[in-house]
Structure 1
């Protein structure tokens, strides 16, 4: 979350790279998740960080909030089903 309070002081990866240093602190996962094998997200106004909940100290990826909203809409609409 470049420039946002969520990632203040964290390593900022170059475009296309995965961040591996300190990351967001406001991680959350779905209430539907009943295990440690879920996806967690951290949001700010401009970016969304995504990580594997089974590896909280591992790397995460960052996408724009616009891309995240488009992804969520595609999931809701069933566009990503096989």
Structure 2
């Protein structure tokens, strides 16, 4: 994961992934798939197991505490979308 250090906070580059059309955005590390675009579907590991979500955008998140964001496992395949 790419980490940019500032004086007190760390900045993490993350992808915002949504699992429902209307719902909360969850942040995932996308460093293994830098070519992802908003609108792409991805497979991620959640507390409910593997789920497919849609990339809504990208952000830089500041964290005061050291926290790792779970990685995107892979882009969704046509079979996942069927």
Q: Give TM-score, length-normalised by structure 2.
A: 0.25
Structure with higher helix content? 1
Structure with higher strand content? 2
Q: Could you say which structure has the greater relative contact order, defined with CA pairs below 8 angstroms and 6 or more residues apart?
A: 2
